[in-house]
Amino acid sequence: MTYPTTKKDNTTDTYFGTTVPDPYRWLENDQAEDTKAWVTAQNKVTQHYLAQIPYRDKINKRLEKLWNYEKYGAPFKEGKYIYFFKNDGLQNQAVLYRQQEGGQPDIFLDPNKFSTDGTTSLAGIEFTKDGSLAAYQISEGGSDWRKVIVIRTEDKSIIGETLTDVKFSGLAWKGNEGFYYSSYDKPKEGSQLSGLTQHHKLYYHKLGTPQSQDVLIFGGEKTPRRYVQGSVTEDEKYLVITAANSTTGNELYIQDLEKPGSAIVTVVDDMDSEHYVLDNEGTKLYIFTNLNAPNNRIVTVEAASPAPANWKDLIKETENVLNAGTGGGKIFANYLKDATSLVVQYNMQGQLERTIELPGVGTASGFGGKKDENELYYTFTSYVYPPSIFKYSIASGQSQLHKKSGVQFNPDLYESKQVFYTSKDGTKVPMIITHKKGIKLDGSNPTLLYGYGGFNVSLTPAFSTSNIILLEQGGVYAVPNLRGGGEYGEKWHLAGTKMQKQNVFDDFIAAAEYLIENKYTSSEKLALAGGSNGGLLVGAVMTQRPDLFKVAFPAVGVLDMLRYNKFTAGAGWAYDYGTAEDSKEMFQYLYKYSPYHALKPNTAYPATMVTTADHDDRVVPAHSFKFAARLQEYHKGSNPVLIRIDTKAGHGAGKSTAQVIAEQTDKWAFMFYNLGVTYKEPQ
């Protein structure tokens, strides 16, 4: 392989007396002409390599065929209409339809018309309580920066001006007069896509007034917080505000909207735990919290004296991690039992009514609805169960199939089983392994090991249309539930943070070793993949154990651990990672595993395809640019090390179907080619 020449400069930083060279710092400037030229040159090399893979087109055609079926979202009721999302098959974006009871569906919003190439997406919509107005967000090119448009639902006419520069925001209506939203000031230094975003602000926008007159409700100079969200209770009695400086832990506030000019009242004044208002009955608040309950609980309290000292347990903490929703005047406790769903229905007094019978072992989501609903919809999926929508009767507890997935996949031909393996320090870690029934465990199966391990995120079983490509070829798909995730509550999360972060990498390495020892695969037939924090995971493991696997896919990864907190919202990740400025010990710990810094000269690394996107303003592409440049410089051996840079795309959300299929085509083609697998068209 001949790679583009990447210039180096003499940039250095000094941390606690240690000088750290950063010769590719110039690639952090995403607007510079030399950076753009580098991106073009790298993409040219990557596309030239991929174009030579003989079965790439066959994989692309197969993916298009697999993707080409009608996909539905669960219906939801707003005013006199029932709304649902639907994608005909290969549409770039799902379309929002609506219908009246017994009527025919009509198109309400078609995001495919937002842009000619399908890269502008609908990024959220909220309706007024009576359904007569809606505010929706759009994302251009995958950016986290959004615009907000308000329409009358009856005739879809636009009301007032389009709001701009909205980021990490919900939309919460206050009657039909206006709504709350969150945003940051535009970055003054650097580009809007990479500049640091520090102080989040909650605003109130009154319909018919310019955005410049929007009222600051919370945040800003008086109460600087990195993340601020506002929501309004279903009865529109309370504004609920959560405020945080990192991705874990938040303060909680309420304001009585029925009393004009009432003060914002503190419920929780520290960020040591997480809490939100689940529901209310008049002045009685139902609060979901992990305060003194690492696996979460639900408490009640009177709004007049809402401090934690007055909280009463309604649904106590159990050994299983609790998530919750409400609908039809009930609470739905969705527990994680070894990373799969167990759903229990309670009344509002906290009495257990029933355990809901699910279609199998997997992931059930969507147990939520308005208080006056008699039924709600939930989606059930697993690695071998394509997502299907069920209608659930709240009174009887009966589920009935509403929409079955139309994907071309026969679950009877495949199996998915959970195993528990032992990590380096003796910790038992669960992993779900999926493959065709009857494959030989002789170490020859192409295997993709996928992981995340961070930010309290739980990887629960979910079907992937793309993964059919691997399973059809007799391949194995394995997903371990690494520490750092939320599968076993806050203790499991904390065991993979800061100076415990190596546990996550050890768990992933042990998963790979389990698959090899049990003859699912071998190092020559094993690929690793992960995105965002999972991109960090792949980057760290490929630098620590380059011998363990053949192919690596670090996607939109956090790869420079000394500077991640200098860009966009990166400073908010410090709870999980710590920063190089915290202490000498924290700096040394980060410096040791930071993928960009852990690369060593004259080392044979796995065949690697780094993936990122030019509009990623969550994990800026500079991480991937610098890592790829140094990897190409240091790598020894015949394995290709490439970077694939999407244009008009961001961190992942809102990608067009065409972009997704193109990326998945390249992933499977690169993986099979470098594992020595010849793609066979399915019979």
The catalytic site residues sit at 532, 651
Helix axes 502-517, 533-544, angle to 10 degrees: 70
Say which residue the tokens 């937002």 belong to: 114
Read off the tokens for 506. 């050890």
Q: How many CB atoms lie within 10 A of CB 502?
A: 17
For residue 382 the two structure tokens come to 């697993």
List alpha helices for 533-620, DSSP H.
533-544, 574-577, 584-593, 595-598
Reduced to 3 DSSP states, what percent helix, strand and coil does the chain have, rounded to the nearest 5? 20, 35, 45
In the DSSP assignment, the letter for residue 488 is T
Q: What is the DSSP string of 97-161?
A: EEE-TTS--EEEE-GGGSSTTS-EEEEEEEE-TTSSEEEEEEEETT-SEEEEEEEETTT--B-SP
| Strand ranges, E, within 275-384 | 275-281, 284-289, 297-302, 312-315, 321-327, 330-337, 340-347, 352-355, 363-365, 375-382
Closest to 534 (Cα-Cα) out of 465, 599, 484: 484
Question: Are 662 and 649 in contact, with CB atoms under 8 Å apart?
Answer: no
Cβ neighbour number for residue 655 with a 10 Å cutoff: 24
DSSP 635: B
Q: Say if CB 569 and CB 601 are below 8 A apart.
A: no
Cross-strand bridge partners of residue 87: 71
Q: Which two tokens stand for residue 167?
A: 């980021």
d(C-alpha 247, C-alpha 380), whole Å:
27
Here the tokens at position 204 are: 């109130």
DSSP 8-class letter at 164: E
In 29-94, which ranges are E strands?
Answer: 71-72, 76-78, 81-87
Which helix or strand (DSSP H or E) is residue 419 part of?
Answer: strand 414-422
Question: What does the block give as tokens for 531?
Answer: 């995105």
Tokens, residue 188: 């003054």
Query: 10 Å Cβ neighbour count for 307?
Result: 12
Q: The tokens of 497 are what? A: 């943070």
CA distance 487 to 475: 26
